[in-house]
Structure 1
């Protein structure tokens, strides 16, 4: 980062000013930089917790693994959803209690299961017989929850069939876990990323509730319902306030499941996205022909340096410029690398000011989730996303 330059983006600051916005406005950067506020993360945790009540929040570490954020959430009393040994080690290093860490990846190396168990982690996810066998061999007596496939997601970004078992497999897996000496502790699912309305959860909850009650009727004393993530962030389309959203989801869960001994949620995006913004720069503004209807605007950040979630144009980031309020026109937005896949928005061109020029500084809003963790080590020689935690 270069020296302070007051007012670099102040004229274009969003209506809802926050520490990250103010920091970007007061400084200039020589490379793409994510600036994220711990205070905003802590405040969002309080909002979600207020709506979810006595449900346990396990932050999805993959959303943003900055140690300062993990430490902030440890101090708030959060649990953690870890997907790897490295994420478990990160949480432990920041003071997390291993009893509040769940090993939520259903694809785990046997040695990592053994490491987690030795470190005190007792809660593991599975969605197959083979994974249960590994857990039983390397974490004997552990609590396991079975992840279910979600077929009827109304999320902006439904998740694939990579994770979870079909409904018909659930009785087999619960029985197998019990036969292995594991605690068949509960169920989990993920409603889909960026589920913008709380009501969109209802079809998924209806399906999972049927399976929950059937399993308990079959003699499985399920204790844990892990409702996963899906809590949204603001990217231009309206979303409900976080506390009200979380309260509506909690009410929908209570109506379908009744008292659940251990209710868990795993927000990632919904916790950290709005706490951070990216300082970036326009590298080139051009047209492909004299009569091209769309400009091409190339930023110094693209898919390989932090904006991977533009895949499929599902996440539509908002871009703040010093020319905001002037005449806009459609453009194709792309990254700087020599890879033809490094195009951010083309199917639905983005509207940006006609006055935008090479060298202009811009701010990409609400990028605290799934940017630094997706950034490459330096593809094509372009630097990975820098991170400043306030």
Structure 2
């Protein structure tokens, strides 16, 4: 077996696993995601200003576009991986394996082998079976145990899918140490789009308890992701407020800190451009159907978890607006974006008009289906220059 640190050649299939540049037709197609790279750069600078001593490991799943990854690689960003496809995309973008962490605690033996062959040496775990897998396939690797924490306040909580309580985390650290792994880390994730800074305080408190119970030196703490961006559903805390909560809870404990920003780096860089297909009345309510829905990139509207800010170019801000039910184009009855949220659009909106979803650079193109109802994947258009957009 190849040992930890052995270099792996990126396979041909890796090149097909990252989005290609859109064709000229896609540049004007609807729907499409327009992405402004300078905004990504600015968001990274803002994150570094708030967390100067934290290693930022970009959550690749948020937006794996090659140009996003290349930009972040040039800025020295680390990467949080969840699959071999993401590993290959990061290698192609120039992110060094030593700066990659395999953050998904659910993985196949072949995943671990691929990561090891590439030179990845840091893995997250949350089960005894996975610790044993890492001991077999990645001897000597650095292991971080993920804690289950209270993720109240997040738009998309993990519902118990990942993580363990402090007592079990301590036992897993000891198991990893006994198996010859470097059991040096603890981590947690406060839930996506987390709006309560105290969630990070609760996670750190759980990590300190696990470290004390383990009786082993814990040199790394992963603060997870969840750093919020502004949508239509009320204010969100500033990154500096979250950083202050983290610093206050850490006190004199100073492990190496890692965080996994995804949404915070790319959401505001993206505008999803859609077209109105139909406007009609149903059961006394006004319905607006778009050519984009939950299967073309708006998966986070499920349960109305994320309510995007909307803009309608060509319609004056003073134009009369009214409440609507906003729906996607497919024949699936669940393809309704907003039925309960207070979404108001111009009353003169008509087929062919444009509706733009702001703050859509994260978890849209990477969520889009590859052909449900015969509709193509959501294309991404990289804007040639910074394109500042005013809020609606």
Q: TM-score range by the shorter chain?
A: 0.7 to 0.9
Q: Distance in 2 between matches of 1:179 and 1:263?
A: 24
| CA drift at 1:231 | 0.5
Match 1:338 to one of 326, 331, 342: 331
Correspondence for 1:248: 244
The count of corresponding residues between Structure 1 and Structure 2 is: 355
Deviation per CA, 1:336-365: give whole Å up to 9, x if none: 000001011112241112111111111110
Correspondence for 1:280: 274
The SS at the match of 1:140 is coil
Correspondence for 2:258: 264
Moved more, 360-369 or 343-352: 343-352
Correspondence for 2:148: 149
Correspondence for 2:355: 362
Answer yes or no: is 1:225 the counterpart of 2:218: no
Deviation per CA, 1:150-183: give whole Å up to 9, x if none: 2353223222211112333112211110111001
Correspondence for 1:176: 175
Match 1:239 to one of 236, 239, 252: 236
Answer yes or no: is 1:308 the counterpart of 2:304: no
Correspondence for 1:122: 121
Q: Distance in 1 between matches of 2:148 and 2:119?
A: 28
Change in CA separation of 1:91 and 1:302 when aligned onto 2, cut-off 3 Å: same
Change in CA separation of 1:249 and 1:63 when aligned onto 2, cut-off 3 Å: farther
- 8 Å CA contact 2:205–2:249 kept in 1: the answer is no
Correspondence for 2:97: 98
Correspondence for 2:374: 381
The SS at the match of 2:248 is helix
Correspondence for 2:23: none
Answer yes or no: is 1:327 the counterpart of 2:323: no
Change in CA separation of 1:44 and 1:253 when aligned onto 2, cut-off 3 Å: farther
Tell me the TM-score normalized by structure 2: 0.87
- 8 Å CA contact 1:150–1:191 kept in 2: the answer is yes
Q: Distance in 1 between matches of 2:335 and 2:218?
A: 45
Q: Distance in 1 between matches of 2:119 and 2:153?
A: 37
| CA drift at 1:198 | 2.7
The SS at the match of 1:340 is coil
Q: Distance in 1 between matches of 2:192 and 2:96?
A: 27
Change in CA separation of 1:204 and 1:247 when aligned onto 2, cut-off 3 Å: closer
The SS at the match of 2:295 is helix
Deviation per CA, 1:98-131: give whole Å up to 9, x if none: 0000011111110120111121100001100111
The SS at the match of 1:303 is coil
| CA drift at 1:188 | 1.0
Gaps of 5+ in 1: 1-26
Q: Distance in 2 between matches of 1:261 and 1:203?
A: 17
Correspondence for 1:131: 130
